Chains A and B, each alone.
Chain A
Amino acid sequence: MSQTVIEPVSEPVNDGSGLAKEPLLQIRDLEVGFQTQRGLVPAVRGVSLTLYAGQTLAIVGESGSGKTTTAQAIIKLLAGTGTITAGQILFEGRDLAGLSEKQMQDVRGRLIGYVPQDPMSNLNPVWNIGFQVEEAIRANNVAQGKAARQRTIQVLQEAGLSDAQDRLKQFPHQFSGGMRQRVLIGIGLSARPKLLIADEPTSALDVTVQRQILDHLGTLTRDYGTSVLFITHDLGLAAERAEQLVVMYKGKVVESGPSQEILANPQHPYTQRLVAAAPSLASRRIQSAKNDDASGADIYSGGSLDTTLVARAAEREPAAEARDLIKVQNISKMYRIRTKGLKYNELLAVNDVSFAIKKGTTTALVGESGSGKSTVAKLILQLESITSGQIEFDGQDVAGLKGTALLKFRRRVQPVFQDPYGSLDPQYNVGNTIAEPLLAHKIGSSAERQARVRELLDQVSLPWATRYRYPSELSGGQRQRIAVARALALKPDVLVLDEAVSALDVLVQGQILNLLTELQTELDLTYLFITHDLAVVRLVADNVCVMQKGKIVESASTDEVFDSPREAYTRELLAAIPGANFEFGR
């Protein structure tokens, strides 16, 4: 094995430019495995990377690529049964892989800070914020006693919480997601570490919040000269925030180097695939025609996304005369939230929203969390009752539909939900899941239903053998395809797609968008596409409604919204998309 002979750790690495400088972090042939019932399963297979002081490096990859495992191995916080089986992690020349747990405690926090992925679950809900930050400060011996309290306030102020003094006694549930992430960043940087590992620090946040947080993080780390190791699935974000890029695939590094160069000129087929699938604002339908050559065909399995979209764009023109299938007029939804005792607060989740969708087209409803977009979906699906206003479907008022009329409506308007893990019953195999709507509406004999399941599986490009599988055995993308197949079982006219691709990896997302576009042309479907991701909207929607705080602030055709947004809020949303103005090599 090659890693048995390793040079003295302190030897400086020549970076090829003639200047010899010591890297801050150098990972050599790292291998990490997880012990399972079936033996050791490798998660990271021979990863090497180098990070110099003051640099920012991003590890990009899909879920399961080993990017988080690599980051966790650095600070030896591997989940469950994970162990480092080979390789070195040299931090300032010291091999972290060989350190004891006690020695690692000194490294964590003080030398290497860590900002975890999910700000919702990484703060302890029973302790106030001040206590949790102070705990980190004391543990790292930054300050003790009264000084620690002073430092806590300072840390929170640096993290961008201006009224830190008053907020010390508040609890995590009183903080928004963005504020919690600021607290976590503050904790991560409180001991002025030399390296900060940020594991998808903003994936759970809205784009505008994400931008603020990343800008702030950039300023802080630049001021302190901290190196940053970003873990992200978002190529645009990596392009914008990191100088160095490492692309991981199935536990291996497939490409690494300066990020601008890699994204402008990807060499490895996997990186090329990723770059091609990244839905950024730069990926316009017209431009993407470039990719329509032989090499594009084997990069995608099942047809290139872009070519289909070009074809769709061409077909779109004559279809413009179609009638309105769904007409939403001045709908509002009020929730009553119990406060203290018997008092109620009224929350207007949807406020006077009107729009119409023509048959065979896609309308996107875009907004940040809390904008009321999902509530609109629920109202249209008749899962919640409207407070005021009118929803017309195919010329008929759907409010207050009951019994068979409601069943008839449900047959024609089907939903696909966000979470492909939660929306399928874990106890039902795929065949039964897809057949369920047929059974519920008493359609066909057993044999006919089987035939329909077969047809549907075929439509979503899954093999017939899939029918005996259970959801736990399928990947996120496969589950979402099952959910689409189930929604199509009754041959509906409308699909309401509530964040249907948001939880998926970029390549799989491309595949599902592609599938949805194909199905739309094939079956003349109408889509209501609810998403927070404007870049995806660009790829699939004909019309866009931008929602903010329960109201539609802008509503126009996709091209109009993207090329000449009228509202300041829309412009802000567009500008916040990571890598918005970055030219990807295609």
Chain B
Amino acid sequence: MPNKNPNAQTHYVAALEETPVETVDRLDESQKARSTWADAWDAMRVRPTFWVSSALILLIVIVALFPSLFAQVSPRDCDLGDSHSGAEDGHPLGFTRQGCDIYARIIFGTQASVTVGLLATILVTFTGIIVGALAGYYGGVLDAIVSRIGDIFFAVPTVLGAIVLMSVLPERTPVTIALVLSLFAWPQIARIMRGAVLSARNSDYVTASVALGVSKFRILLRHVVPNSIAPVIVIATVSLGTFIVAEATLSFLGIGLPPAIMSWGNDIDAAKSSLRTNPQVLLYPAAALSVTVLAFLMLGDVVRDALDPEARARR
């Protein structure tokens, strides 16, 4: 190769064939269009964790909807003679102290646990998004009032507050548990939403839209909320797992679902008396609970990484 060093005193010009000049600022039309969500989907799609957790969640939801497809034995068909019997044909996990089939109880208990988790998450997310967005966007007195109310609920631990409320409620169903849990959990989502809205509200594209004549509420709906929702979705997926745990905690303490409703929490509660003699009675519902929570946490993790470009770059 010839001496390409542009020597200090000479005027060096690169050969034109080596440095072809393109038209200024041309659009590369060959590329595919991409949005944040499409990018996020691409980032999630390549991760095995995403597929494993999604498959698990899908399975759990199907079990919750159609438990009878998975268990032929009735969970209420209990025979005290089978009390604490081990696994046998048709009863893969053995029997509880009451002589009920453990496997069937877990399958039929899914519904209550998942209902509480999903319902509470949906309630909390919607309340949090609406309240947080309004407070952050309109600010002023509304923000001050809403934020202080949020702080009051924030100061009460969710489970503690739920214990107090549940003990005075006349009726305890999955729906009431979800309502009580979301009553104490919405301020967290609202805070995150408010923070995200505050930063999106001051962005140039919002100012541009104001000047274009777009109405204030429409800007909130069409620009501010879509740009602030990502962190909320992440927290929502994670909190789904914690709501399922909270239901189990309340049921274990005896103030969750009544014993007549099958749930993992009730099963764990019932198993505590036979823990020393027959630990598997406790083990199986606890494992079902753990796997479900783990699946949602894993999904939340993947979603967070996909929506946060910095986390993606670190991988």
**Taking beta carbons and an 8 Å cutoff, which residues of A are in contact with B?**
2, 13, 15-17, 23, 26, 28-29, 46, 48-52, 55, 80, 244, 246, 249-250, 252-258, 261-262, 267-270, 273, 300-301, 381, 383, 406-407, 410-411, 414-415, 417, 419, 422-429, 436-437, 440-441, 462-463, 465-466, 468-470, 472-475, 477-478, 483, 486-487, 490, 507-508, 510-511
Least CB distance from A377 to B in Å reads 10
Residues of B within 8 A of A16 (CB): 7, 9-10
Contact B29 A463 (CB under 8 A): yes
Residues of A within 8 A of B4 (CB): 29, 46, 48
Within 8 A of A (CB), among B257-276: none
A28-B5, A410-B211, A417-B204 given as contacts; is B25 within 8 A of A475 (CB)? Answer: yes
Q: Which residue of A lies closest to B204 (CB)?
A: A422
A252-B19, A268-B14, A301-B24 given as contacts; is B212 within 8 A of A258 (CB)? Answer: no
Residues of A within 8 A of B277 (CB): none
Least CB distance from A6 to B in Å reads 12
Contact A470 B34 (CB under 8 A): yes
Q: For chain A, what secondary structure do more than half of its interface residues adopt (helix, strand, loop), or is it mixed? A: mixed
A28-B5, A48-B6 given as contacts; is B29 within 8 A of A465 (CB)? Answer: yes
Contact B8 A23 (CB under 8 A): yes
Least CB distance from A429 to B in Å reads 7
B69 contacts partner chain A, Cβ-Cβ < 8 Å? no
Contact A422 B205 (CB under 8 A): yes
Contact B27 A474 (CB under 8 A): yes
**6 cross-chain pairs, A with B, having the tightest CB-CB distances, nearest first:** A257-B11, A422-B204, A410-B213, A256-B6, A2-B1, A301-B23
Residues of A within 8 A of B165 (CB): none
A253-B12, A473-B33 given as contacts; is B19 within 8 A of A50 (CB)? Answer: no
Contact B16 A252 (CB under 8 A): no
Q: Which residue of B lies closest to A467 (CB)?
A: B33
A2-B1, A254-B13, A301-B24 given as contacts; is B204 within 8 A of A437 (CB)? Answer: no
Contact A249 B21 (CB under 8 A): yes
Which of B10, B11, B26 lies at the interface centre, i.e. has the most chain A CB atoms within 10 A of its CB?
Answer: B11
Residues of A within 8 A of B215 (CB): 440
B227 contacts partner chain A, Cβ-Cβ < 8 Å? yes
Residues of B within 8 A of A510 (CB): 24
Contact A440 B204 (CB under 8 A): no
Q: Which residue of A lies closest to B229 (CB)?
A: A427
Contact A427 B35 (CB under 8 A): yes
**Taking beta carbons and an 8 Å cutoff, which residues of B are in contact with A?**
1, 4-14, 16, 18-19, 21, 23-27, 29, 31, 33-36, 203-205, 207-215, 218, 222-223, 226-227, 313
Least CB distance from B307 to A in Å reads 12
Give the docked Cα–Cα distance between A301 and B14 (Å): 22
Residues of A within 8 A of B26 (CB): 301
Contact B21 A273 (CB under 8 A): yes
Contact B19 A511 (CB under 8 A): no
A29-B4, A256-B12, A470-B35 given as contacts; is B214 within 8 A of A440 (CB)? Answer: yes
Contact A440 B6 (CB under 8 A): no
Give the docked Cα–Cα distance between A302 and B34 (Å): 27
Contact A437 B213 (CB under 8 A): yes
Contact B34 A473 (CB under 8 A): yes
Least CB distance from A301 to B in Å reads 4
Q: Which residue of B lies closest to A475 (CB)?
A: B25
The contact of B204 among A80, A252, A423, by CB within 8 Å, is: A423
Contact B210 A383 (CB under 8 A): yes
Q: Which residue of B lies closest to A440 (CB)?
A: B214
A383-B207, A426-B36 given as contacts; is B8 within 8 A of A269 (CB)? Answer: no
Residues of A within 8 A of B16 (CB): 268-269
Contact A253 B35 (CB under 8 A): no
Give the docked Cα–Cα distance between A2 and B225 (Å): 56
Give the docked Cα–Cα distance between A365 and B85 (Å): 89
Contact B7 A13 (CB under 8 A): yes
Contact B11 A267 (CB under 8 A): yes
